Amino acid sequence: MSLEKTTSHVKERFSEAVLDVTEFAGEQIVHIKSGSVFDVLKIFRDEGFNFLANLTAVDNLTLGGFERYSVVYHLLSHGSVERVTVKAYVAEDDPIIPSVENLWKTADWQEREVYDLFGITFEGHPNLVRIMNPEDYKGHPLRKDYPRKGKTERTDFPVVERGISKENKT
Amino acid sequence: MGKQDIKSNILTTTVESAINWGRKNSLWPMPFGTACCGIEFMAVLASRTDMSRFGAEAIRFSPRQSDLLIVAGRISIKMMPVLIRIYEQMPEPKWVISMGACASSGGVFDTYSVIQGIDQFIPVDVYVPGCPPRPEGVVGSLLKIQDLVDKEKLFDYTFSGSK
């Protein structure tokens, strides 16, 4: 099935959820509300977009947009060799979005990465723990309001002195 | 055995200088390569700047058998506890080379996740500048470490049961 058909299909069935459909550099972007992301992506998957090429997030703090965060899904159809971008907008004060781990297994680690760096919670994820930062890390450093040099994490380590046997050494 | 034989076969020295001489010519480096400096460090061991000429070719990824820690590459906040543990596992006496800009100062990575110089947390003896340093620079730092080893005072060490 072709991309136009799928997009109109999605627009028909989820007229409430689809915020906008735009085009950039010859590729289609479907903007949707975060609540129905699972159902929308399920249609895309069932109609040929079998491969989740990428899952990431954007902080729209200075960019403007429907909401503060957008979770971006890049889909590829191996059958018709078409690509589509789905952007789901997540509110600032309650960043929760349904997980798509059930649709594509590859979403598992990518959702953990987005959770780690943006603090967006994926509802229904089997193992939502930090993937890159240390387990006891506080904060979500890829948010635009996070200081570039961090808070205190890069100086919070014990200082190891020279061994006792060398303490007379200058 | 004649008098002549004794002259050519016996030499007198101090225990200290004999130990230091042995130590500095048989350093056992523990490489801690986390980035491109770790790759560059391999070149130091290769034929052109062969580190075994200075008795330090026995690279052991085993801190408990090593006395020279070579930190080569950027240290992230997740890696720093590992580096501290490895430093503490090494037996005394031990020396540390901070190889390259990242290990010494964080380099270009002025971000939340990279340690801005390992010398904030563990004692460093010799810094090697460069990004990455030339192999000659690393050999130069090894010679500097050898000078430091040569200046060690046996008196500084306390042995168990004595002060």
Nearest by Cα to B57 from B75, B73, B70, B72: B70
Range of the domain at B51: 27-152
Residues A17-38: what's their mean pLDDT?
90
Nearest chain A residue to B111 by CA distance is: A149
In tens, the pLDDT along A57-87 reads 999 998 888 889 999 999 999 988 999 999 9
Domain count of chain B?
1
Q: Which of residues 149-168 of A touch B (CB under 8 A)?
A: 149-151, 153-155, 157-168
Contacts of A126 (CB under 8 A, 6+ apart): A101, A108
Task: Please count the residue pairs, one from chain A and one from chain B, whose beta carbons lie less than 8 angstroms apart.
Answer: 66
**B79 has a chain A CB within 8 A of its CB:** no
Residue with the larger pLDDT of the pair A104 and B4: A104
Residue B16 falls inside a structural domain: no
In this structure, what CATH number is given to the domain that contains residue B123? 3.40.50.12280
Return the C-alpha torsion angle A48, A53, A59, A63, nearest 10. Answer: -70
Superfamily the domain A3-152 falls into: NADH:ubiquinone oxidoreductase Nqo5 subunit (3.30.460.80)
Residue B109 falls inside a structural domain: yes
Residue B158 falls inside a structural domain: no
Angle between the B36-45 and B135-150 helix axes, to the nearest 10 degrees?
70
Report the run of H or E that residue A78 belongs to, with start and end. Answer: none
- Specify the range with the lowest mean pLDDT, choosing from A2-6, A19-23, B95-99, B120-124: A2-6
Give contacts of A134 with chain B, Cβ < 8 Å: 77-78
- Specify the range with the lowest mean pLDDT, choosing from A29-33, B68-72, B103-107, B159-163: B159-163
With b for 16 or more beta-carbon neighbours within 10 A and e for fewer, the B130-157 pattern comes to eebbebebbbebbebbbeebeebeeeee
In tens, the pLDDT along A143-170 reads 999 999 888 888 888 898 876 545 444 4
Residues A104-117: what's their mean pLDDT?
93
In tens, the pLDDT along B55-76 reads 888 888 899 999 999 999 999 9
User: Which of A148, A155, A163 lies nearest to residue B111, judging by beta carbons?
Assistant: A148
Q: Is A127 helix (H, G, I), strand (E, B) or coil?
A: coil
Residue B58 falls inside a structural domain: yes
For chain A, the domains span: 3-152
Burial class (CB in 10 A: 0-12, 13-18, 19+), B126: buried
- Total residue length of chain A: 170
Interface test with A, best of B113, B120, B150 (most A CBs within 10 A): B113
Question: A40 is written with which tokens?
Answer: 């929308």
Measured CA to CA, the distance from residue B103 to residue B105 in angstroms comes to: 6
Measured CA to CA, the distance from residue A32 to residue B146 in angstroms comes to: 65
In tens, the pLDDT along B17-60 reads 899 999 999 999 999 999 999 999 999 999 899 988 998 888 88
ipTM: 0.80
Q: Over chain B, what is the mean pLDDT? A: 88
